[in-house]
Chain A
Amino acid sequence: MDDRKAAIVSEIPRLRRYARALLRDRDGADDLVQDCLERALTRLDNWQSGESPRRWLFTIMHHLFIDRMRKVSRRGETAMLPLDADEALAAPAEQFGNAASREIFDALQAIGPDRRAALVLVSIEGFSYAEAANILGVPAGTLMSRIARGREELRGLLDDSSRRRAIRIVES
């Protein structure tokens, strides 16, 4: 196996995690990863050899993700809205281990895509501000404000869902 391809293969688990945090369903996330890998193969020359392919791959995937989000918002879909409580409960259970993870997942989906991507790159994927800003193609200051707003939004959404949970317990 070509060394460069082997290095790309070893990044697949992290690309899948990033995609899963960006998108709602597992198949859709894996489709995004597949699109990313296919595009990466056609642009192997853009990857500076000797460097980890991670940042390069994440950059490719981010562009694909943003394209997809633009199409969704042009079509006026409601993909960004938080799910109703009953629908959240109907989400496939095997995909997210427990109720707490499901709440996190739902809350994350409700955050605007730009903020979601910034927060996920730094908080989950552990990129530095400089690396994340580079992947997203924005200045560091923009990245920082997306993270700050994203965290604040996440906090509010998690508070909402724990309030809803409390109401459900009281009602039942």
Chain B
Amino acid sequence: MSGRDFTERDIHMALDGELPGEDRAGYEAWLAANPDMQARRTRYAGDAEALRSAFAGVLDEPVPARLTRAALGEKPVVVERRRPRWWLAAAAALLLAVGGAGGYVAASLGGGSHDDSAQDQLAEEAIAAHVVYAAEKRHAVEVPASDLDHMETWLSNRIGMKLVAPNLSDDGFQLVGGRLLPAGGHRAAMLLYEDAEGNRISLFVTTEPAAHGKGIYAQSGEGPRAVYWLDKGYGCAVVGSLPDNRLSEVAKRAYEQLIAGMIS
């Protein structure tokens, strides 16, 4: 047995398998003679076990495909999705209802040349992000509006297009901040706005290479709706639970400023 003195440091080393074998017996004798240290060892060992078990399940989770693709250096796969027929009727009715207020959304269903699945996907992702994050009080955004320059630079770099946060104060909405999100195989920026009554709307912007189109998308029943555009390599959706005509007005203003910002 070594004759050295032991300290609390040895408790950590023993727990982490770093205590040399020849010190083991001396360490145990020291613990036995020091109930305080013994109690501390027991407590740390319990915490360490709790820590391991809290995260043990992660190893069994299926690995998201985007991570495997990233490791292999593969391009993201575009998943083909079909839009259910009922959606067309519902969307047509909505477009008729708001056509007068926001003429820019008119007749987007007429041509049939655009990519329906890309539109669905954009709108669904934008709505999902809104549902999750707009409900958060303190963690709704990653970068607050007080750090606007940093947020715009960061998000622009991440999504790969110049993003200038629209000023929607004429509509009563102030910028809360922004965050970066996964969107299909891409990245998306989400900008969150809030009015004086606490109503929140979000602007969802992603780089979407192929599709063209625009319209209003609502998932079944209650809940927020998305006004969206897909064009020239980007996609944008404005999501909120405002009345459709008001949402369309706000969305139009946001859209105009986004376009102006992109070419500024």
Residues of chain A at the chain B interface (Cβ within 8 Å): 1, 5, 8-9, 12-14, 16-17, 20-21, 24, 27, 30-31, 33-34, 37-38, 40-41, 75, 77-78, 87, 96-97, 100-101, 104-105, 108, 119-120, 122-124, 128-129, 144, 147-148, 151, 154-155, 158
How far, in Å, is B180 (CB) from chain A's closest CB? Answer: 7
How far does the alpha carbon of A12 sit from the alpha carbon of B63 in the complex, in Å? 7
Known interface pairs A108-B51, A129-B16, A147-B16; A34-B70 also in contact (CB < 8 Å): yes
A148 touches B51 (CB 8 A): no
Known: A31-B180, A34-B70. 19 other contacts (CB 8 A): A9-B71, A9-B72, A12-B63, A12-B68, A13-B58, A16-B63, A16-B67, A20-B55, A24-B139, A30-B67, A34-B66, A34-B67, A41-B71, A41-B73, A87-B139, A123-B48, A124-B55, A129-B18, A158-B47
How far does the alpha carbon of A34 sit from the alpha carbon of B8 in the complex, in Å? 39
B4 within 8 A of A: no
B138 within 8 A of A: yes
**Lowest 7 A-B CB distances belong to which pairs?**
A101-B54, A17-B58, A37-B70, A104-B54, A37-B71, A13-B59, A9-B71
B12 within 8 A of A: yes
B51 touches A123 (CB 8 A): yes
CB < 8 Å neighbour of A38 from B64, B70, B139, B143:
B70
A101 touches B53 (CB 8 A): yes
Which residues of chain B are within 8 angstroms of A158 by Cβ–Cβ distance? 47, 50
For the residues of A in contact with B, the DSSP-based class is helix
CB < 8 Å neighbour of A12 from B71, B147, B181:
B71
In the assembled complex, 18 residue pairs joining A and B whose CB atoms fall closer than 8 Å, in A order, are: A5-B73, A16-B58, A16-B63, A27-B182, A30-B67, A37-B70, A87-B138, A101-B54, A108-B51, A122-B16, A123-B16, A124-B51, A124-B55, A144-B9, A148-B8, A151-B12, A155-B47, A158-B47
How far, in Å, is A35 (CB) from chain B's closest CB? Answer: 9
B44 within 8 A of A: yes
B1-31 near A? 1/0 per residue, CB < 8 Å? 0000000110011001110000000000000
A155 touches B44 (CB 8 A): yes
Which residues of chain A are within 8 angstroms of B53 by Cβ–Cβ distance? 101
How far does the alpha carbon of A87 sit from the alpha carbon of B139 in the complex, in Å? 10
Which residues of chain B are within 8 angstroms of A119 by Cβ–Cβ distance? 51
How far does the alpha carbon of A12 sit from the alpha carbon of B59 in the complex, in Å? 9
B59 touches A75 (CB 8 A): no
Residues of chain B at the chain A interface (Cβ within 8 Å): 8-9, 12-13, 16-18, 43-44, 47-48, 50-55, 57-59, 61, 63-64, 66-68, 70-73, 137-139, 143-144, 147, 150, 180-182
CB < 8 Å neighbour of A8 from B48, B61, B71, B147:
B71
Which residues of chain A are within 8 angstroms of B9 by Cβ–Cβ distance? 144, 148
For the residues of B in contact with A, the DSSP-based class is helix
B43 touches A5 (CB 8 A): no
Known interface pairs A17-B55, A124-B52; A154-B147 also in contact (CB < 8 Å): no
B47 touches A151 (CB 8 A): yes
B58 touches A75 (CB 8 A): no
A9 touches B61 (CB 8 A): no
Interface centre among B12, B16, B55, B139 (most CB of A within 10 A): B55
Which residues of chain A are within 8 angstroms of B51 by Cβ–Cβ distance? 104, 108, 119-120, 123-124, 154
Interface centre among A13, A41, A120, A123 (most CB of B within 10 A): A123
Chain A: CB-nearest residue to B138: A87
Which residues of chain A are within 8 angstroms of B66 by Cβ–Cβ distance? 30, 34
How far does the alpha carbon of A13 sit from the alpha carbon of B58 in the complex, in Å? 7
How far, in Å, is A89 (CB) from chain B's closest CB? Answer: 13
How far, in Å, is A100 (CB) from chain B's closest CB? Answer: 7
How far, in Å, is B254 (CB) from chain A's closest CB? Answer: 24
CB < 8 Å neighbour of B61 from A16, A34, A101:
A16
